[in-house]
Amino acid sequence: MAVRAGSYVCGIADAPLLGDTIGRSLDLAVSRWANREALVSPSHNVRWTWKEFADRVDALAAGLLALGLERGARIGIWSLNRPEWTLTQFAAAKAGLILVTINPAYRLSELEFALAKVGCAAIVTATAFKTSNYMEMLNTLIPELATAKPGELHSSRLPHLRAVIQIGGPACPGTIPFDDVAHMGGARQREQLAALGETLQFDDPVNIQFTSGTTGSPKGVTLTHHNILNNGYFTGRAMRLTEKDRICIPVPLYHCFGMVMGNLASVTLGATMVYPGEGFDPLTTLQTIEKEKCTTLYGVPTMFIAELDHPEFSKFDLSSLRTGIMAGAPCPTEIMKRVNGEMNMGEVTIAYGMTETSPVSFQSATDDPLERRVSTVGRIHPHVEVKVVDLDGKIVPRGERGELCTRGYSIMLGYWDEAEKTADVLDKNGWMHTGDIAVIDDEGYCNITGRIKDMVIRGGENLYPREIEEFLFRHPKIQDVQIFGVVDDRYGEELCAWVRVKSGETLTGDEVRAFCQGQIAHNKIPRYVEFVDEFPMTVTGKIQKFLMRAEVEKRLGLKAQKTA
């Protein structure tokens, strides 16, 4: 009798892990590619070589030390994509500080929670962007700021916070202008910086990122230099990036997608970071790709959809594009095919991971067959282990569904000051339990079939929304679709579809159900079909199905049957 292989894979490496801190990696980049472009941000009129960028980073790092920030102190950054964001990322790492990346969509209560949770000693903040007035919110949260001496803040609600560093203007009372910080460090701070370079360890924490908070309060994922520097490096290697590549980064820097897969892939492989704008705009992104001759493009599926469906899409020359990453949410097969063909991204890769794993653990290769690249998230990353387990924690055979667990260099230190919540997901053997349902086939390719919490149990049968979404994407009038469960007093749960129809098209619920009839099992046909203009989602493009479920249940008055 043939013995079936278990769903365990370990990534074979073609290169060793980097044993560097982020600061040392930047110094190495200067020694290798001093005069090549490091960072381009057309809307900020910035075009820096690696040497120019590193000089600015060192000046800023010395200034942060001059402000009295000590090794291990937390410094928040609250801004969209700007050159100052990236300067702060690298300067904080060089100064031995822990960068706390704060979602630009946060409002007062979320901001206060994040700053208080990790005890930020300083925050670098934008002034405003569109409807977000960051300085106004900070002044509401910290009324003492208006009369404080810059750098000597004493806040009753945030006792650790000493300094507010303001990007842009006009300057607000009590704040330190961002550009001034670089002039604060003297010879003593430069010596201190050099000494830190010798003593900082790659296992030191360097970044805290808050999870999306889809359930309960957001948790502070604590990551080391080793975690994120290596993940950026191996993500870039999977796309065969070199110093000749130019990465268009319209994804947010505050999240791993921008700061790790973008910025840290660049610093380890010499590619140029190109920021099309502060927030995502499909037209600006297309213009930037053409003008800057970008070879690489990042995005979540909704971004690629917006670019492909832009009325002016066909006017742009995207022939410079070669590769990129689509990640952050499941990629619809039809969209992947269009990105390959219409955007000239024949070597585009799919990446899968989570903040707690720095983030990538699976990625498709540039030369994987198209069918594999559109139907899976690729194979295991180098130096990473993965297993798929059943509800009892036992490894399932290849080809069977179960929960994905990850182990290796990329696993977070833990959730900041949350030992119990850390223990809930990180077991005694070092396995990170992702909460994702996955299947690994005989060749090691992985398919993510949903979230354990998204799985719909209808009449005792497990239904996987991703599978139904993939089918509905074939409908010629459907631009985007999300399937989720709503409570039902007969079956426990019923399926609901939220559909975005393509521009100029009309569609009815009966047409959608008729399209499914005889093509998929009757219990997978959505009972409820609703048409919407947008889905609730996080800034990083993760769909918030729990909000959709709550809205539909409330509007339709759906309630679970009471049991004795």
Average pLDDT estimate for 192-198: 97
pLDDT exceeds 50 at position 564:
no
DSSP letter at 293 equals: T
- CA 98 from centre of chain: 18
4 pLDDT band, cuts 50/70/90, is confident
Q: What are the pLDDT digits (tens) for 75-95? A: 999 999 999 999 999 999 999
Domains with residue ranges and CATH for the chain:
9-16+222-451 (3.40.50.12780), 22-210 (3.40.50.980), 456-556 (3.30.300.30)
CA distances from residue 61 to 73, 190, 202, 463, 552 in whole angstroms, order as listed: 13, 9, 18, 52, 50
Q: Is the pLDDT of residue 244 over 60?
A: yes
Residue 403's CB: how many other CB atoms inside 10 A? 19
Cβ–Cβ under 8 Å, residues 296 and 322: yes
Q: What is the pLDDT of residues 498-549, one digit of tens each?
A: 999 999 999 999 999 999 998 888 889 999 999 999 999 876 667 889 899 9
The string of pLDDT tens digits covering residues 280-339 is: 999 999 999 999 999 999 998 889 999 999 999 999 999 999 999 998 777 777 888 899
Q: How far is CA 284 from CA 249, 292, 319, 322, 545, in A?
A: 12, 12, 17, 19, 29
Mean pLDDT of the chain: 94
Phi-psi region of 68 (alpha: psi -120 to 50; beta: other; left: phi over 0): left
pLDDT in tens, 427-442: 999 999 999 999 999 9
Indicate whether 475 pLDDT > 80: yes
Cα separation, 268 vs 223, in Å, equals 18
Q: Is the pTM of this model over 0.75?
A: yes
Average pLDDT of the segment spanning 385-414:
96
pLDDT at residue 214 greater than cutoff 50: no
Cα separation, 353 vs 336, in Å, equals 18
CA distance 249 to 257: 9
**460 phi-psi bin (left φ>0, alpha ψ -120 to 50, beta other):** left
For residue 296, what pLDDT is reported?
A: 98
% the chain with pLDDT above 90: 82
Evaluate if residue 460 carries a pLDDT over 90. Answer: no
At 412 the three-state DSSP class reads coil
139-168: average pLDDT: 97
Confidence of residue 462 (pLDDT cuts 50, 70, 90): confident
- Distance, in Å, from the CA atom of 74 to the CA atom of 160, rounded to the nearest integer, reads 10
**Cis check: omega of the bond before 170, within 30 degrees of 0:** yes
Name residue 339's amino acid. V
Is pLDDT above 80 for 560? no
Looking at 60-69, 216-225, 358-367, which range is the least confident one? 216-225
69 or 217, greater pLDDT: 69
Cα–Cα distance between 217 and 220 in angstroms, integer?
10
pLDDT at 155: 97
Could you tell me the pLDDT band of residue 456, with boundaries at 50, 70 and 90?
A: confident
Q: Which residues of 45-82 are buried (b: 16+ CB within 10 A; e: fewer)?
A: ebbbbbbbbbebbbbbbbbbbbbebeeebbbbbbbbbb
pLDDT digits (tens, 9 = 90+) for 8-23: 999 999 999 999 999 9
Lowest mean pLDDT among 121-130, 432-441, 455-464, 475-484: 455-464
Mean pLDDT of 122-146: 95
Average pLDDT of 451-473? 84
